[in-house]
A and B are shown apart, each in its own frame.
Chain A
């Protein structure tokens, strides 16, 4: 009997144990299931950029050149202003919630981000060699000797023009080489008269054209020391006067956003596009105009020291200090940071001119662009790139631009350029003290 009882107890125990194990197993299953669910989003690297024809196309090309297992890129297109605003709100809140892994920032704005949020960015110095890049790209992309940005495009400018319109107005290519803005106004008048086309399209809210003009003279809204430098800035004064003449004499058309800008030359309205080389892919997007476009150097100011080369736009990649930063930095270092083949494809397929010096030797840079009548765009641009005067963009490039934009409206109403500059100086000193 005792033996039997023991048997019963043991079987009962085994039953309980079995049930317990079953329950335990199943609860484990649930846990592991929920773990998997959480990790699905973290492995794709998010990039913010703004130009599908240019920098987004470049990133896509880089992804094709990058052969890392399990690496996925998610590119989110946003307007540049939107990116700037989102970055500002995101970084100042400090949560980093919804921030991308990689963001493209224009060089002229970079310092304001780096200085305001030094911990938000991940140093990239270990991922590429800064000596491989054009020297003028390094100061805007670094802070206190630490490299934060990986230089992307040069932003070197050209005067892209419709050769057919200019010819109609009686100008040849030689007539456009190494001219001043004064001469450009004369040409604009002739073009308007002969063809009815405005010389270029102007966005009253964007002073990129003014920034191009003053940098060609080696000056900026601020001095080397960061002092606000509007009043008594001869180059700025001349630039505003030139712009005033162009608008006042009805030589320009107007647009108020990017699509309006694209439409201004894709529609065949504007005769020239004086801006950074990054516009080339957008010009080429209108295939019906192939062969009608040419490129000349940007006009210079009559101010002393001004050259026929300047910079507009030009941006660099930054990695935010969040999960996935190593993967993002490795991706950038392996492509934009060192891959000559990639740069070779980049100039030919996208038409983007990087600042990676070793790539200049590659055959892609000698590429003759049929859209521009066989002109060696890249080769010429990279020559001009060397002539771009280096300036310190300082912290408030866009803030100061906005003040000038507002003042320029008053100038159109008849305010003198001297008053405009002195008022702008006062306003800026109050605002950015």
Chain B
């Protein structure tokens, strides 16, 4: 949990930008895809319905000519004298019957030629129950049944006009048919002399318009009661679509184009045309979704846009990551740097921007580094200068005291002693005139120290014994000048205040790759914490260098590894250890 949080925190920049990018690319892709699909389907439906409207007009014209042919044929039959003659009287003999049958058949065959489409069938029912038909296959019906049937009653009830009706009952052997029926009457007394039925099977009627239909684009014919009597969609046949009828009737007044309608539980785009001569509605139903899904491959559009979005996201992910990760790294490095390593340069990598930043930052870092170095150098130089200055300052008290001691020796006629002290004094002065940095061999330094001890013995007596123990292998090694002197001086003047006599030992040897010089006394000793610097007696000091400075000086010259350590116990003595590098 913490890890995830840290990860999120570290990649916050990337995540923010990427999130915004996903949202914007996704939104754009989504909007474009859907507006694309919507626009193309709208465009398609518009053009589709335009051409469909033309088809509908064409079919409507065909249906009108069909109804015209029905009207014409019925008129022909009603006015045909031969039919009138033979239909009226029930022929009694076979001869009469043969003639009647022959002539009626001849006449209706001729009249049949008027009818279009050809599949339209003429069925003529004589009052004496015989039927005449042009194609028995199309409608095989017996006269008795037909005369009893509602079709005939209806035709009789309707005095002048043709009655149009849809039938798919027993009378048509359950074959769906559209039947135009008419009672044939004499002109003078209006008595019925026969019945004419012009039948067309639904599938023949359907062939008038079937060529204009396709899946989802259906055409149906509906009579004035809302019964669908012909349809390119089989399951609609014979259904009562009252809602569609109302819709179509309302629509007809406005003469608008396509409109939405719900037919038998399904939504369609609907266009209707009323055919007055047949009193039927020609209705075109378009299943909007089915048509567009068939012709516009929504899945493909979605797939393409999803692929493009995905590719865009992958690219932006990669580029973004490359850019933001390097920036995040820089930020991370910088924040670390402040805590730990100020000198380490930033790695120059990642994008153009982050590289520039890293380069500029590194440049700045270098400059800073140089500047700091210069500063440090200057400070060091300054300190060295100070030390040199101090070194060169030989304490005037020391000179005065020493010279006074020598004067007394000469006065007391101790000439030899005065001479020796004088020599030592000269050697000391000589040694101190050289610069601080300069080193000398251990042997020479020890010689210088002996001179110093000789001067002190000459001045103060020989109660304090001084012994030098120098390992022979150290004699030729280099050592900074006057490094050990301040400690011997300190021992002379401060270790023997209570005790009046004792000894001072100077040990020089190599230990663990170091040159170790020890100044050991058995004098008063001191509390460990006491800084012996404050005990300085300016009068006794040889030069400006105090023991305090020695430690700093060594560290400055050779590093932290080296330096001065002091251990002391009251009444026991003091032990000063000076660690120096081995300089050949």
Contact = CB atoms under 8 A, between A and B. Distances in A.
Contact of A22 (B135, B136, B307): B307
Contacts of A203: 101
B94 interface: yes
Given A22-B303, A203-B101, A256-B101, 20 more contacts: A11-B315, A26-B300, A26-B304, A50-B137, A204-B98, A204-B105, A205-B105, A247-B94, A248-B95, A252-B94, A254-B94, A255-B101, A257-B133, A258-B136, A258-B137, A259-B136, A409-B99, A409-B103, A412-B99, A413-B99
Interface stretch (A67-75, A77-85, A298-306): A77-85
A251 interface: yes
A254 B97 contact: yes
15 contacts: A19-B307, A22-B303, A50-B137, A79-B135, A202-B98, A204-B99, A204-B101, A246-B94, A247-B95, A256-B132, A257-B133, A258-B137, A259-B140, A263-B142, A409-B98
A405 interface: yes
A248 B93 CA distance: 8
A18 B308 CA distance: 9
B105 A256 contact: yes
Given A79-B137, A205-B105, A250-B93, A26 B98 contact: no
A362 interface: no
Interface string B487-526: 0000000000000000000000000000000000000000
Interface in B281-308: 297, 300, 303-304, 307-308
A202 B101 CA distance: 10
Interface string B137-162: 10010100000000000000000000
B311 interface: yes
Contacts of B95: 247-248, 250, 412
A23 interface: yes
A15 interface: yes
A253 interface: yes
Interface centre among A18, A247, A248, by most chain B C-beta atoms within 10 angstroms, is: A247
B350 to A, nearest CB: 12
A246 B116 CA distance: 39
Interface in A53-76: none
A413 B307 CA distance: 90
A413 B93 CA distance: 13
A405 B135 CA distance: 19
Interface string A254-269: 1111111001000000
Interface residues of A, number: 40
Contacts of A260: 131, 136
B311 A15 contact: yes
A79 B300 CA distance: 51
Nearest to A254: B97
Interface in A1-37: 11, 15, 18-19, 22-23, 26, 29-30
A22 B102 contact: no
Interface in B308-343: 308, 311, 315
Contacts of A254: 94, 97-98, 101
B297 A26 contact: yes
Contacts of A26: 297, 300, 304
Contacts of B133: 256-257
Nearest to A413: B99
B137 A251 contact: no
Nearest to A1: B352
Contacts of B94: 198, 202, 246-254
Interface centre among A11, A30, A198, A259, by most chain B C-beta atoms within 10 angstroms, is: A259
B98 A257 contact: no
Nearest to A26: B300
Interface in A217-263: 246-260, 263
B371 to A, nearest CB: 33
Interface centre among B97, B133, B311, by most chain A C-beta atoms within 10 angstroms, is: B97
Contacts of A405: 102
The 6 closest A-B pairs by CB, nearest first: A204-B102, A257-B136, A204-B98, A79-B137, A250-B94, A254-B97
Nearest to A82: B135
B311 A18 contact: yes
Interface in A370-412: 405, 409, 412
A30 B98 CA distance: 64
Contacts of A77: 137
Interface centre among B102, B133, B142, B315, by most chain A C-beta atoms within 10 angstroms, is: B102
Nearest to A89: B118
A86 to B, nearest CB: 9
B540 to A, nearest CB: 75
A322 B131 CA distance: 39
Interface centre among B93, B95, B132, B308, by most chain A C-beta atoms within 10 angstroms, is: B95
A80 to B, nearest CB: 9
A246 B94 CA distance: 9
Nearest to A256: B101
A77 B297 CA distance: 42
Interface in B340-362: none
Interface in A178-213: 198, 202-205
A175 B41 CA distance: 83
Contacts of B102: 204-205, 405, 409
Contacts of A258: 136-137
A50 B136 CA distance: 11
Nearest to B301: A26
Contacts of A263: 142
A326 to B, nearest CB: 29
Interface in B98-133: 98-99, 101-106, 130-133
A246 B136 CA distance: 26
B99 A78 contact: no
A252 B101 CA distance: 13
Contacts of A30: 297
Contacts of B130: 256
Nearest to A25: B300
A19 B304 contact: yes
Interface in A146-187: none
Contact of A247 (B98, B106, B131, B311): B98
Contacts of B106: 205
Contacts of A205: 101-102, 105-106
Nearest to A86: B118
A205 B311 CA distance: 81
Interface string B443-465: 00000000000000000000000
Interface string B377-389: 0000000000000
B315 A79 contact: no
A250 B94 CA distance: 5
Contacts of A198: 94
Interface centre among A202, A247, A257, by most chain B C-beta atoms within 10 angstroms, is: A257
Interface string B193-206: 00000000000000
Nearest to B132: A256
A19 B308 contact: yes
Contacts of A252: 94
Nearest to B133: A257
B307 A18 contact: yes
A18 B307 CA distance: 9
Contacts of A248: 94-95
B382 to A, nearest CB: 49
A166 to B, nearest CB: 20
A148 B145 CA distance: 44
Interface in B67-108: 93-95, 97-99, 101-106
B304 A22 contact: yes
Nearest to B95: A412
Interface string B177-202: 00000000000000000000000000
Contacts of A29: 297, 300
A154 B241 CA distance: 53
Contacts of A246: 94
A202 B94 CA distance: 9
Contact of A78 (B98, B137, B140): B137
Nearest to B130: A256
